[in-house]
Structures are given as C-alpha cells and as structure tokens.
C-alpha cells in the first residue's frame, strides 16, 4: 500500500520535474529540476530494495548534474532574468508543509509496516553490494566486460580526438618564436 503511494508520488514528481527541465528557459531552473528528478529516480531504486543502485544513481548521475550545474553557473549569466514573485506566502507555507509531511510519511511507512517484503530477498550474511557483484560477475559477466571495453574505446577515442586538436601547439609553432625574437631585436 505505502509502496504504491510512494511510487505514484515519485512518478508524478519526476515527470513534473523533467517537464520543468525541458520547458524552462532559465538554465539554472532546468539544472535544478534535472538534479531533483535524478534524486527521485534513485528513490525508485530504494523503493524496490536496490540500495546499491540507488546510491550509484545518486553518486554518478546527480554528481554529474551538479558538475554540469556548476559549469552552467560559471559560463552563463543566468541570474539576470530571475525576478521572483511570491504573491502568496501562505500558499508557499502550506505546500512546503505538505511536502515535508509526505516525506516523513514515506520514510516512516516502512518502519511501522511489517508487511512490506522484497520480491528478491538478499542472501543471508551477504550485503546488497555483494549480491549485485555476485550476479554481475556470474550471470552478466559478458555484458559487463563488453561495457568495460566500450568505455575503454570511448576513452581512447576521446584522447585521440583531443590530441588531434593539439597538433597546432603554440610551443611547437616556430613562427611565434620568430615574432618574439624580432620584437626583441627591435628594442
């Protein structure tokens, strides 16, 4: 019961946040809603009992979005168009209170309800990360290795492409040295 409520709440919030991401004209609003949407996606993993995947989602994707957020703040003057209009502070208070109440209920429901069971229970004496590792390196070994090779190829291709742009370096360009020498001779 509580899992279903949490799922539908997370689904509605995630869809709403990603709609804000797509439709927002302000870069900072789009990045903030994208990061919040990624946090809510990790909530789906926690609801399903996949704690390891939820933490990986938080670290990898939300961390990447935060790096993107910081670059967006550095390169764009996104705060010039922001004019906040808070016409009804009571509405903000009520919505904030309801959001806080919903979060407390979502986190307290599994504590007080004993009927919530995982579909695939963990093995005794083995943690969630170890369970993922056992499945990953036995049943899914070949796809895991293929993904590792593809990431290695992508990394090497990125290095090669970056190296091609660096072929015309200022340190190897002798015309710059000649120009500096002629300026010294003129003095």
Q: What is the pLDDT of residues 91-101, one digit of tens each?
A: 888 888 888 88
Asked whether residue 54 is domain-assigned, the answer is yes
- Helix, strand, coil shares of the chain as percentages rounded to 5? 75, 0, 25
Asked, for residue 86, whether it belongs to a domain, the answer is no
Q: Given this model, what pLDDT does residue 18 score?
A: 92
The DSSP element (H or E) to which 68 belongs, if any, is helix 63-75
pLDDT tops 80 at residue 108: no
pLDDT on residue 12: 92
Q: What's the pLDDT at 16?
A: 92
User: In terms of domains, do 3 and 72 share one?
Assistant: yes
User: Is residue 129 a contact partner of residue 52, using CB atoms and an 8 Å limit?
Assistant: yes
Q: Give the count of domains, the chain.
A: 2
For residue 184, what pLDDT is reported? 61
Query: Does some domain include residue 133?
Result: yes
Residues 9 and 67 in one domain: yes
CATH of the domain at 61: 1.20.120.1200
Question: pTM value?
Answer: 0.47
Residue 136 sits in the same domain as residue 63:
no
Report how far apart, in Å, the C-alpha atoms of 56 and of each of 38, 50, 61, 67 are.
11, 10, 8, 16
Q: What is the pLDDT of residues 39-87, one digit of tens each?
A: 888 888 888 887 888 888 888 887 777 777 777 667 766 556 666 666 7
Q: Is residue 122 part of a domain?
A: no
Same domain membership, residue 73 and residue 6: yes
11 compared with 137, residue with greater pLDDT: 11
**Is residue 60 included in any domain, yes or no?**
yes
73 and 137 part of one domain: no
Q: Assess whether 4 and 67 both reside in one domain.
A: yes
Lookup: tokens for 37: 């949407």
Check residue 15 and give its pLDDT: 93
Which of 79, 110, 145 marks a domain boundary? 79
The reply to whether 133 and 75 lie within a common domain is no
Domain of 12 in residue numbering reads as 1-79
Distance CA 136, CA 140 (A): 5
pLDDT attached to residue 117:
60
Residues 70 and 1 in one domain: yes
Does residue 110 form part of some domain? no
Distance CA 37, CA 17 (A): 6
- What are the pLDDT digits (tens) for 131-180? 777 777 777 777 778 788 888 888 888 777 766 655 555 455 555 556 66
């Amino acid at each position: 019961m509580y899992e279903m409520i949490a799922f539908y709440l997370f689904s509605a919030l995630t869809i709403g946040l990603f709609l804000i991401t797509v439709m927002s004209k302000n870069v900072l609003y789009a990045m903030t809603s994208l990061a919040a949407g990624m946090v809510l996606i990790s909530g789906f993993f926690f609801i399903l009992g996949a704690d390891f995947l939820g933490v990986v989602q938080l670290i990898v994707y939300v961390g990447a979005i935060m790096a993107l957020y910081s670059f967006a703040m550095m390169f764009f003057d996104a705060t010039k168009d922001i004019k906040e209009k808070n016409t009804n502070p009571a509405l903000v208070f009520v919505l904030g209170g309801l959001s806080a109440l919903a979060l407390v209920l979502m986190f307290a429901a599994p504590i007080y309800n004993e009927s919530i069971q995982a579909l695939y229970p963990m093995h005794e004496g083995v943690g969630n990360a170890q369970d993922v590792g056992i499945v990953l390196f036995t049943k899914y070994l070949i796809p895991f290795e293929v993904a590792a090779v593809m990431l290695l190829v992508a990394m090497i291709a990125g290095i090669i492409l970056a190296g091609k742009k660096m072929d015309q370096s200022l340190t190897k360009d002798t015309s710059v040295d000649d120009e500096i020498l002629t300026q010294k001779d003129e003095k």
